Structure 1
Amino acid sequence: MNDFSSMNLSHETEKALKSMGFETPTPIQSMTILPLIEGKDVIGQAQTGTGKTLAYSIPAVEKVVGNNKNPQVLILCPTRELAIQVSKVINNLLKYKKEANSVVIYGGQRIDFQIRAIKRGAQIVVGTPGRIMDHMRRKTLNFKDVKMLVLDEADEMLNMGFIEDIKAILEKLPFQKQSALFSATMPKTILNLSEKFQKNRQFLKVPNQKLTVENTKQLYFKIRESDKTTLLSRLLVMRNPHSAMVFCNTKKKVDELVSALKSIGFQADAIHGDIKQMSRDRVMNDFRNKHTKILVATDVAARGIDVENVEMVINYDLPQYHEYYVHRIGRTGRMGKKGYAYTFVTEREFGKLQMIKRYAKIEIEKAKIPSLKDVQRTRAKSLSKDIMKIIDEGDLEKYEAMVEIMTEENYSTLQIAAALLKMVAKTSELDNPILKRKIDQDFKKEKRVRSFNFGKSNSKGRKYSSRTFKRRTRA
């Protein structure tokens, strides 16, 4: 399918797609849109960031009948962030269908607002299972006219324990309905669930031997738990990303890590289940607008967060489930851009890393823990590339004249260049006084440290877990 115009979509939907900047469907969209429009049951599998939301949203919008104000399409999402994201896509597609409306339903929002929105009429309902169940108990949702059900991120809903809620919701929907499941991974539990409520399903999978994004450079470090924050700070200084996501397995660890990063001068913020919606909205706006460079999150809270141009993903904790690795890594290296994914692995977790590699059919390259000299050398190379780029772009006559004026004051061009570089460095984390002091302290420790090989024994049979860090470095 070369473009959306060949799909015989309604004029309003085609116009909306053009206004959104979409002309050519992605592989998962090409595979699933027409079967869904034709009313077939579908299981769609494709990696994160490949356009699954639009793949089911277009058929959903095409199916609604404007003169019937009852819900006709129900879309279930595991988290409120994903529900909000899907709702935005739906509303953009409905831009020129004035007779059709949608509503998003999730916990943390006043339920009376949602009830009023439903009463005004909403043909498409997007929501989380728990809040949908609340409305079912209150009898504020009428599902008698629902003709299409979508389970988005189906694997995550099962991992989060929504299986009983989903079954209860299915029992309230008309028997003669169409259903679609979309997910980046397809564990057996999902296939078993689909067999119970899908008829003659079509399993449509984007042909890709690797589940993770091709443009993402994937590396792992073998490290002690106590050295993780030091390694993280070095990577952040060395790479100096405009945006990075760091994943931890618990809310407590997220809060502790954000506090540690802030204490040494990084712009970091947290996302997890205990953070209220108003604060979550502020955090996400700051991250999208690059006011905050580093977002530290749990897996559940991060699902549904759609941020473009995430340069770096760091698995501070190895994910608890194999499929979580796929979802985490899928947040970088999108739209043909280069991305980096770093995973911190302790000695006892090494076997689990091998299982993740087999599951995702990938190779994750082992990386050497960067020394402080490596950090300084990499930043110097990065700065020199930026300078060379400016030289190649030209248009420097005005600045050359300024340099000539300064040389008349008996300063050499080398001194002038060095002073300007010092000015530039002051805008980076490397010249942050708190972080610089922390790095200097690490550097002094490093001079006294013996070189260790992770997992290899010395002559006395003892094992060490870091190549360059002191045995009990406190970060």
Structure 2
Amino acid sequence: MMNFDDLNISDEIKKAIGDMGFDKTTPIQEMAIPLALKSRDITAQAQTGSGKTIAFAVPILEKIFIADRSPQAIILCPTRELCLQVAGEISKVGANIKKLKTLAVYGGQPIGKQTRVLKKGVHIVVGTPGRVIDHIERGNLDLIGIESVVLDEADEMLDMGFREDIVTILKNTPHQRQTLLFSATMPTEIRKIAKNYQKNPKFIKVANNRKNIPKITQYAFKTDHKHKFNDLIKLFEIYDIKSSLIFCNTKKGVDFVFKHLKKQNYAAEALHGDMSQKTRDRVMNKFRNGNVRFLVATDVAARGLDISNLDFIINYDVAHNYDSHIHRIGRTARAGNTGHALTLVSKEDYSNFSTIKKESKGKIIEKKMPGDEELENIKITRILNDAKKSIKIDNLQEYIKIIKKNSSADITTEEIAAALLKKIREN
């Protein structure tokens, strides 16, 4: 890894990156930034969380001419959440560039508000393909001055049916533009776009073994389809899970898990493609602020979500392939933290699981779901371990006096401790 100070970039950008807490580049940044600064087209295969936003933000910002208030760069993202995340990151990298204007445009927000900002003038537009097309057709967005186009998470955009919109937008930009394409996978459709709309692109690939993957502890538990939900609840109890993102493969599965969690009084919400943007925003805000502890989602609904401090990911259904699995579990262990990914594997899931386990190269450890007696022992051990920690770090003198005062020849301190343990365990 090289230092950002070693890159041929402005002091304003170097200072902003330093203020963000970064001094060394990630592999994608080290490979992409020098090439992009030379105006090369790039096709980069890199996972979410690899640092790719800074990899394209830096060269874009270096080219911005502040005096020109028309769009000079456009970044296409699959979801509203990712748009906001990318726009926020660009604003941080460009924090010391005076009068820089960046705007996120996406569906679900009144178009009038976005139109007013566009009319005032912006340098960088970050948008979902559908809303960008909408602004172009309404005459709000003119791409004649675009020098840089970024396709972020291109494979996700194609999976969501945005291919025609992407092509339309690319055709509306000048031929002499720089095109930077970032994708976690490289299916044939992505390669076609690269061939048709990029000029001799340099291909970059960052290996799947992302820095944070080793910090994710992955366990898989065999289950039976009819016992799967009960085993999900067991996982909550085994690992003392207070909050989690739970993945299902279908909307029907999401609704089933969500409804049954609610029946058992868990603070849960569902997230899937049938919901309006307003509903999605409301659900995500509740999850981020802690009012909802368990979010049950499909892969499509969860795309672009950036959730911090998430310790557990649970795969209620096994992902369809390894790339989807990596996308899912990559939402824990962010920013150098550790995390857990737990997967329930029924007979119906086993074919997909076998493929994913093979590609994970031993990172997924198969464990047996504990029986009722073992589960009870796990819970009691957790309570006792918490008590032992408290003995070491808390001042318990007042409580010791109370226990001694209430003990006698008929009631020993051990019996009081046992009764308290029973009361705690049953509540």
**Cα contact 1:210–1:361 (8 A) shared by 2:** no
Residue 167 of structure 1, CA deviation: 1.1
Decide whether the 8 Å contact of 1:47 with 1:211 is kept in 2: no
1:8-407 to 2 correspondences below 5 Å: 8-208=8-208, 213-358=213-358, 364-393=364-393, 396=395, 399-407=396-404
Give the residue type in structure 1 aligned to 2:400: V
Instruction: Report how far residue 245 of structure 1 moved.
Output: 0.9
In structure 2, give the amino acid aligned to 1:409. N
Preserved contact between residue 243 and residue 294 of structure 2 (Cα < 8 Å)? yes
Partners of 2:417 and 2:31 lie apart in 1 by: 56
C-alpha distance in structure 2 between counterparts of 1:302 and 1:6, whole Å: 37
Q: Which amino acid aligns with 1:330?
A: G
User: How many angstroms does 1:54 deviate by?
Assistant: 2.1
Letter in 2 for 1:173: T
Task: Indicate if the aligned counterparts of 1:326 and 1:360 stay in contact, CA closer than 8 A.
Answer: no
Shift of 1:414: 2.5
CA offsets 1:268-315 (integer angstroms, 9 cap, x no match):
122223333344333323323333221111111211111123222112
Structure 1 equivalent of residue 406 of structure 2:
409
Letter in 1 for 2:135: H
Alpha-carbon spacing, 1:48–1:371, altered in 2? closer, same or farther (3 Å): farther
| Contact 2:317/2:349, CA 8 A, preserved across alignment | no
1:422–1:276 CA distance, 2 compared to 1 (3 A): farther
Equivalent residue number for residue 471 of structure 1: none
Normalization by structure 1: what TM-score?
0.82
Cα distance in 1 for residues equivalent to 2:188 and 2:362: 21
AA at the equivalent of 1:248: C
**Quick check: 1:5 aligned with 2:2?**
no
Tell me, in whole angstroms, the C-alpha distance in 2 between the residues paired with 1:140 and 1:358: 50
Matched residues, percent identical? 42
CA contact (8 A) 1:71 1:145 kept: yes
User: For structure 1, which segment, 330-339 or 166-175, has the greater mean C-alpha deviation from structure 2 after superposition?
Assistant: 330-339
The 3 A distance-change label for structure 1 pair 387 and 56 is farther
Check the 8 A contact 2:72/2:146 in 1, yes or no.
yes
| CA positional deviation for 1:227 | 1.8
Shift of 1:331: 1.3
Q: Deviations over 1:144-188 (max 9, x none)?
A: 111111111111111112111111111111111111111222233
Cα distance between partner residues in 1 of 2:358 and 2:166: 30
Contact 1:104–1:126 at 8 Å: present in 2 too? Answer: yes
> Partners of 1:217 and 1:195 in 2: how far apart?
39
Code of the residue aligned with 2:169 in structure 1: it is I
Change (3 A) 1:203 1:418: farther
Distance 1:378 1:46 in 2: 40
Distance of 1:80 and 1:108 partners within structure 2: 8
Which SS does the other structure have where 1:48 is aligned? coil
- Structure 1 residues 20 and 416: alpha-carbon distance in aligned structure 2, compared to 1, 3 A threshold: farther
**Rounded Cα–Cα distance in structure 2 between residues aligned with 1:381 and 1:27:** 43
Q: Does the C-alpha gap of structure 1 residues 409 and 320 become closer, same or farther in structure 2, counting only changes over 3 Å?
A: closer
**Where in structure 2 are there 5+ consecutive unaligned residues?**
none
1:417: how far off?
3.5
Alpha carbons of structure 1 residues 56 and 419: separation in structure 2 relative to 1, 3 Å: farther
Q: Alpha-carbon deviation of 1:425?
A: 5.1
**Aligned-partner SS, 2:214:** coil
Contact residue 107 and residue 131 of structure 1 kept, 8 A: yes
CA gap of 1:71–1:351, structure 2 versus 1, over 3 A, is same
Q: CA deviation at 1:38?
A: 2.0
| Kept after mapping to 1: 8 A contact 2:32/2:55 | yes
**Following TM superposition, by how much is the alpha carbon of 1:30 offset from its aligned partner in structure 2, in angstroms?**
1.9
Check the 8 A contact 2:47/2:210 in 1, yes or no: no
CA-atom RMSD in angstroms: 2.4
User: Contact between 1:94 and 1:101, CA under 8 Å: does it hold in 2?
Assistant: no
